[in-house]
Structure 1
Amino acid sequence: MKIEAGLVDRKRQGNCQLPKEMSRSSKKNRRGQKKSMTVVQKLFETCKDVFSTSGAGIVPSPGDVERIRLVLDSLKPIHVGLRQEMPYFRTEESDKAPPVTYMHLYECDKFSIGIFCLPPSAVIPLHNHPGMTVFSKLLFGSMHIKSYDWADIPCSSDKTHNPSHCTFENFEVQVAGMRLAKVKTDAVFTAPCNTSILYPAEGGNMHRFTAKTSCAVLDVLGPPYSDPEGRHCTYYRDFPYASFSVDKELGYEGEGFAWLEEKEKLEDLSVLGAPYMGPKIVEN
């Protein structure tokens, strides 16, 4: 999910190179720092190493993916200064959808780290992650996750494979602009649980988060969204496969599939920025 510029203080800094020569005392101090390294700092150092040679559409090796996952699996709310009694996790009486709070930890052109805080019933709408490998760690609470990957449809000008119209709730809608997707995940997750990982073309690249209780999720995106580089955040609405009358020769069974349509506006999403109060990330 993309956070608009200006919402939080986003300091885009490149990777810092250590000097080639270091005195014995500085090496000794560095060894001492490693012994007391926070989990957040370890996550930063691991991401910095793993994503140093990656880019859009480039998936880290299985070993590197496992390195990040292991750090995230060990991460607890206390490691990032979160408590469930914080105001970000309370639901105020209102006709509007509860706001989501975002805490920015770090971002450069290779990866980003941030935390989304959701009160009960808050929703992060269905959205994509173009060319990205994404790690999502549920820190506490229960969250429903529904995710999709695009389904492959044979290219054809024949109406069987590319119908011009479909019937949906007794009115005609254009299929152009809609695309068939396959459900990857549709379940409730409760912390502690394993880190969720998605990839550019699989693993549930498009997902929606719905808070069943107050909850927090830490996201690592590699690389982050970038409009200038063509990595836009696109939001979707999903329709059950059976909602449309299409020729069965499409080759898909209805269960496990849905039609996705891009959403131009998001009147139902409010994201507020909040300062990150946990251990600071030190670039070295």
Structure 2
Amino acid sequence: MDGGGIVEQRRETVGSVNSRVGYVHKISMKRKKKMVMKKETKKVRKQNATAIQELFDSCKLVFKGPGNVPSPPDVRSLCRILDKMKPEDFGLSTNLHFFKVTGAGKGNSRVTTTTIYQSDKFSLCIFFLPASAVIPLHNHPGMTVFSKLLAGTMHIKSYDWVSPPNSDSSQLRLAMVKSDNVFKAPCNTSVLYPTTGGNIHSFTAITPCAVLDVLGPPYSKSDGRDCSYYKEFPYSHFSNGETRELGEEEEGESYGWLQEIDVPENSEMDLIKYLGPQIIDTD
């Protein structure tokens, strides 16, 4: 997922949408007038800035640019950093009103996104999903993506291709289900790769959620990394005449048919300015 590439974004007044999500430092500074409290706030900010700076510095080492997949040691190193990250590292708090609103039909169901950093090698962005909001099934061509659920409970379903691509992209393609589970923060970081790990996935928020995505490289239509969306069908629905023999290692696996579709309406997101701790790029 990426705030700048996978969706058509609708830019609203920053203040109005920021108030929907909120940043802890904007709220806290209005209420903390005593010098002691200000010192404590500065100390927390410094700690948070250190966490996000460590993530940024590691990403610069791990992501070498298009065509390069991070090595297993690099993946483990980056996961160790991400696994420890909390909403407060980005100036957020689970006590904010956004995370307290639960149940379908309450408030705005649009997804909001903010981009922390983006280059031609990697990007850092956060997605805010109200309860029942959906990021539709989409792919990540030629990309390695680290997803860290910072807050909330989310259902994630993902696929990897089984059959080769067709000349007609609208035709059904067989895919294997890699994940069909509910995740609750705090939880470990998930990683997908260009052809494995659940490269095609969808997110459905059960409660209000915030998820951090690290993409390397980011979406780029000009470089052949445009985002495609899919509709899924049960394997049995179109299996007549197309049933394949499964190898021993495939027994018990789940399959489905995917069909590429036009950009769905519920893929549009609101874009807000990132107001959390800043990173320092020395290049």
TM range (shorter): 0.7 to 0.9
User: Identity percentage over the alignment?
Assistant: 51
One-letter code aligned to 1:273: L
Is the alpha carbon distance of 1:59 and 1:97 closer, same or farther for their aligned partners in structure 2, counting shifts above 3 Å?
same
Q: Distance in 2 between matches of 1:175 and 1:281?
A: 40
Where do 1:151-170 residues align within 5 Å? 151-152=162-163
Whether contact under 8 Å (2:123, 2:218) holds in the other structure is: yes
**Is residue 208 of structure 1 aligned with residue 218 of structure 2?**
no
CA distance in 1, matches of 2:106, 2:150: 28
Question: What is the match of residue 123 of structure 1?
Answer: 134
Alignment of 1:43-192 (within 5 A): 43-51=55-63, 53-56=64-67, 58-86=68-96, 88-89=98-99, 90=101, 98-152=109-163, 177-192=171-186
Cα distance between partner residues in 2 of 1:96 and 1:37: 31
Amino acid at match of 1:39: A
- The CA deviation string for residues 210-247 of structure 1, in whole angstroms up to 9 with x for no partner, is 00111110000000000000100001110010112422
Deviation at 1:277?
2.0
Q: Is the 8 A contact 2:229 2:262 kept in 1?
A: yes
2:53 to 22, 31, 41: 41
Which secondary structure does the structure 2 equivalent of 1:110 belong to? coil
* Cα distance change on mapping 1:239 and 1:49 into 2, 3 Å: same
- The RMSD of aligned alpha carbons is 2.9
- Checking the alignment, whether the CA contact within 8 Å between 2:8 and 2:269 is kept in structure 1 is no
Equivalent residues of 2:9, 2:268 under 8 A apart: no
Structure 2 counterpart of 1:170: none
TM-score, scaled to structure 1: 0.76
Alpha-carbon distance in 2 for matches of 1:267, 1:207: 17
Equivalent residues, number: 239
Aligned partners of 1:102 and 1:271 also within 8 Å: yes
Find the structure with the greater CA-based Rg. Answer: 1
Contact 2:153 2:182 in 1 (8 A): yes
Unaligned runs of 5+ in 2: 13-45
User: 2: CA distance between counterparts of 1:191 and 1:244?
Assistant: 36
TM-score of the pair, normalised by structure 2: 0.76
Q: Runs of 5+ in structure 1 lacking a partner?
A: 9-33, 156-161, 163-173
